Structure 1
Amino acid sequence: MITGPLCKAARALVGVSRYKLAANSGVDTRAIELFERSISVPDEAAVAALQSALEVLGAMFIPEEGSHGVGVRLKFNRSITKRIGTLENEGGPPAKDDVP
């Protein structure tokens, strides 16, 4: 379950307005604003809908692990993954790299 500030951070990362998030999640824009400002928390179904919509838009939520807090980052999309693969194979076959 995400928090309001995490929702706001994810929305900023994927570059969408509250209006677009509302349209994608089915949650009212005012409810999103109050949630992001930590004024109120919508019901669990609404929070799950927000998280799901943000994940579809490209956010990836990172769970808390020990002393490391929760977080959010961008997912790599298929296009970026393909470009990275192309760059990795650009140098030709691997060879001995010892320099005299």
Structure 2
Amino acid sequence: MINAKQCRATRAWLSWSQDELARRSQVSKRAIAGFELEKTVPHDRTLRDLQRAFEDAGITFLMEGAKGIGLRESQENSASD
């Protein structure tokens, strides 16, 4: 599942505000803000909802060895830009 840094980076990649992510994920803006500031640890379901919202927008999270996770925008999503 995603971590706080990935959440912030993916929002930036998509040019989404916390309000937009909240709308798309059905997770409260307050929960997103606390998570991104690493002040709270969300429930697994909340993390899945956030990740699903990003994946629905065409983002794929990639395992990059032991160093972390990258992301890739789907071909059909990047072609429409």
The interval holding the TM-score normalised by the smaller chain is: 0.7 to 0.9
Structure 1 residue 74 corresponds to structure 2 residue 73: yes
Which 4+ residue blocks in structure 1 deviate beyond 3 angstroms?
A: none
Q: 1:78 to 1:33 in 2, by over 3 A?
A: closer
Over the aligned positions, Cα root-mean-square deviation in angstroms equals 1.9
Report what 2:13 is aligned to. Answer: 13
| TM-score (ref. length: structure 2) | 0.85
Deviations 1:60-83 (A, max 9, x none): 2112424x42122322226729xx
**Structure 1 position 10, deviation (Å):** 0.6
Equivalent pairs counted in the alignment come to 80
Amino acid at match of 1:26: Q
Contact kept? 1:14, 1:58, Cα under 8 Å: no
- Structure 2, unaligned runs of 5 or more: none
SS where residue 21 of structure 2 aligns? helix
Amino acid at match of 1:18: Q
Max Rg structure: 1
Amino acid at match of 1:73: R
Report what 2:32 is aligned to. Answer: 32
Taking every aligned residue pair, what percent have the same amino acid on both sides? 36
- Structure 1, unaligned runs of 5 or more: 82-100
